[in-house]
A and B are shown apart, each in its own frame.
Chain A
Amino acid sequence: MSSAARKRLVTALLLAPAAVWLFLFLVLPFIAIVVFSLGERAPAGGYQPALTLAQYANLPARAAAFWNTLVLAPAGALACLLIAYPVAYYLALKVLPQRRLLLVALIIIPFWTSLLIRTYAWMYILGGRGIPAFLELVGLPDLRLINTPGAVLLGIVYGYLPLMILPIYISLERLDRRLLEASADLGATPFSTFFSVTLRLSLPGMMTGFSLVLILLLGEYLIPTLLGGGKVFFIGNALVDLFLQSRNWPFGSAIAVALVGIAVVLLLAANRITARLSGARQVDLL
């Protein structure tokens, strides 16, 4: 065997396990839900082969779930962005380098810590025996916090804030400080330096964070379930219902395909906006 052929063989063997995994558990499942979404519900639940767009035509039946998700997910992502930016700015530009590592690690830790337990903590805090019980002591009775859209929004910000801070921090940390000095030397006020240099150069990080958080939020299930208490329904709740309870798999598949479609459109739009505004690509997380 020639050395070039041998080299190619080794490369192929190294990639083979991951390729099999990606094919069996990503590509094939995705083809399966597209096929299912074109089928019909079997009388006893499940799937019956067909070739129809009826499931997609039926999407408005779950309009409430789409509406809630498409309002609360962008609102939550925007709230995350507004809170995350000052934190990322502070970490990247205002903190002494020797303290920075610890402070960044403290942002990474909650991101990898059970979202279920962290969301549950808020059930405890917002629930009848949490904050409302304390407020009653100071004379504010009958305040309802849990099972409201506000509680879901709070849970979203709490759960996804770290994921928004990290990419913005990375883009600000890589920023060439000399540009800021140059801007100041040329007579720009700190205010205009921030808007025309800092903000602009950190735009790729902001867009990465925003699109990542938004896409993950589109599929969120735990937060609306635990903090919305069945009153605030997301697409994720509709999917759990259709797959695990009412067993209408073709309709559920159509919703899942629609969700992925929305995510792809958002991602393309975010890329386009970033390219137009800053001429740079998005930041890779890591």
Chain B
Amino acid sequence: MMRAFVTAVYGFLYLPIGLVVLFSFNAGRHASDFTGFSVQWYGRALSNTFLMEALTNSLIVATTSAALASLCGTAAALGLGRAGPRTRAVFDALFGAAIVVPGVVIGIATLVALVQLFGIVNPALAALWPGDAPPRLSLGYGSIIAAHGLFSTALVTMIVRARLGALGRDMVEASSDLYASPFTTFRSIVLPQILPAILAGFLLAFTFSFDDFIVAFFVAGSQTTLPMYVFASIRRGVTPEINAIGALVLVASILLVITAQLLLRRRRPASA
């Protein structure tokens, strides 16, 4: 009985995903009439310039924020391993908040803070700038990358720290007993062992940023990311074109997550 229940739950989780993919190949317009196989909606989606622009924006934002988060998060994980208990407690609390606070609050707070900050910085820049056209800071790529990077840095730190905790101390000690410099020990002993975790962190951070709607909704300014575009189209009405782009997004995130899981699996089975 329990087995049947669990099977039903897996069905519940995957059936809607399967339906989006299935109906993206529907020749007709509606779920109730599957009129035949067609890839026309993929063609429509790929030739939609607004959609492609939103996709490009999302790829830029996700790659940049995930890369920055991987650097900052890995450095922070290494630093926290050496820091005192009080420093660690402060960082733990802040990283925990970055992960748990709902996106809508992060989006609003970042919007409010940045608008105030620009209100101070822009006039100052205008006064100090020697030329005629001083640079103006505004919402856009930068603010989305910064806001996504917050969650992602916390995420990468958490993943890399878990791997560092599982790292054998004896190898590190043997290396320094043999007169390797700390940097050499890091490069040839520690880094190779935590690299899969860093890569997994990068992929999950990328997935998070690529899929995020609510944070970007507040801080994107005049930019549009792919989820923002999809959301706006959905509100105008359900179309098979959305199914096509949705199916592509689903398949892309599933592949990214599977890769991340495979990277994390080595030597540390069965835990998320």
Q: Footprint of B on A, CB under 8 Å?
A: 7, 10-15, 17-19, 21-22, 24-33, 36, 47, 83, 86-87, 89-91, 94, 100-101, 104-110, 112-118, 120-125, 127, 129-130, 133-134, 158, 161-162, 166, 170, 173, 212, 215-216, 218-222, 226, 235-236, 239-240, 243-244, 249, 252-253, 256, 259-260, 263, 267, 285-286
Enumerate chain A residues within 8 angstroms of B256, measured Cβ to Cβ.
112
**Closest CB in chain A relative to B136 CB, distance in Å:** 18
Please name all residues of chain B whose beta carbon is closer than 8 Å to the beta carbon of A36 when the two chains form the complex.
112
Contacts A22-B91, A244-B217 known; 18 new A-B pairs at CB < 8 A:
A11-B83, A14-B78, A15-B76, A18-B76, A25-B110, A86-B2, A107-B13, A108-B272, A112-B204, A117-B20, A120-B234, A120-B242, A158-B12, A170-B271, A212-B100, A219-B101, A219-B214, A256-B109
**CB proximity to A under 8 Å, residues B89-117:** 91, 94-95, 97-98, 100-106, 108-114, 116
Where the two chains meet, the residues of B that have a C-beta atom closer than 8 Å to any C-beta of A are 2-3, 5-6, 9-10, 12-14, 16-17, 19-20, 23, 30-32, 71-73, 75-76, 78-80, 82-83, 87, 91, 94-95, 97-98, 100-106, 108-114, 116, 146-147, 149-150, 153, 157-159, 162, 204, 207-208, 211, 213-214, 217-218, 227, 230-231, 234, 238, 242-243, 246, 249-250, 253-254, 256-258, 261, 265, 269-272
Give 12 pairs: A residue, B residue, CB < 8 Å, sorted on A. Answer: A14-B79, A15-B80, A115-B213, A117-B246, A118-B16, A120-B242, A124-B23, A219-B102, A253-B108, A286-B158, A286-B162, A286-B272
CA distance A219 to B269 in the complex (A): 33
Instruction: Given A105-B258, A239-B108, A285-B272, verify A120-B102 contact (CB < 8 Å).
Output: no
B106 → A minimal CB distance (Å): 8
Report which of A18, A28, A166, A220 forms a contact with B102, defined as CB distance below 8 A. A220
B125 to chain A, nearest CB (A): 18
Min CB gap A228→B, angstroms: 13
Closest to A22 in B: B94
Assess A117 versus B91: contact at CB under 8 Å? Given A123-B238, A286-B271: no
Q: Is the CB of A173 within 8 A of B270?
A: yes
Provide the residues of chain A in CB contact with B254, threshold 8 Å.
109, 113
Query: Contacts of A25 on B, CB cut-off 8 Å?
Result: 110, 113, 146-147, 149-150
With A243-B108, A286-B162 in contact, do A121 and B16 touch (Cβ < 8 Å)? yes
B105 near A240: Cβ-Cβ < 8 Å? no
A24 and B19: CB pair below 8 A? no
> Contact between B102 and A215 (Cβ–Cβ < 8 Å)?
yes
The answer to whether B104 touches A112, judged by C-beta atoms less than 8 angstroms apart, is no
Q: In the complex the two chains form, what is the Cα distance from A86 to B3 in whole Å?
A: 9
State whether A18 and B23 are in contact (beta carbons under 8 Å apart), knowing that A100-B270, A166-B272 are contacts in the complex. no
- B257 nearest CB neighbor, chain A only: A112
CA distance A252 to B204 in the complex (A): 31
How far apart are the CA atoms of A173 and B147 in the complex, in Å? 35
**A113 & B113 in contact (Cβ 8 Å cutoff):** no
Which residues of the partner chain A approach B19 to less than 8 Å between Cβ atoms?
Answer: 121, 124-125
Residue of B73, B98, B157, B257 near A113 (CB, 8 A) is B257
Alpha-carbon gap, A109 to B157, bound state (A) = 21
Whole-angstrom CA separation of A31 from B234 in the bound complex: 35
B13 contact set on A, CB distance < 8 A: 106-107, 110, 158, 161-162
A15 touches B32 (CB 8 A): no
B102 touches A259 (CB 8 A): yes
- Specify the chain A residue showing the minimal Cβ separation from B84: A11
Most A CB atoms within 10 A — which of B108, B242, B261?
A: B108
Q: Return B237 CB to nearest CB of chain A, in Å.
A: 10
Known A24-B146, A25-B110, A120-B20: A94·B2 in contact at CB below 8 Å: yes
Q: Is the Cβ of A29 less than 8 Å from the Cβ of B9?
A: no
B61 → A minimal CB distance (Å): 15
Task: Determine if B253 and A113 form an interchain contact, defined as CB atoms under 8 angstroms apart.
Answer: yes
Q: Are B112 and A32 in contact (CB under 8 A)?
A: yes
Inter-subunit contact B153/A18 (CB<8 Å): yes
Which residue of A7, A125, A158 contacts B31 across the interface (Cβ within 8 Å)? A125
**Chain A residues within an 8 Å CB radius of B97:** 26
Assembled-state Cα–Cα distance A19/B270 (Å): 31
Are B31 and A130 within 8 A (Cβ)? Answer: yes
Nearest-neighbour CB distance to chain A for B58, whole angstroms, equals 11
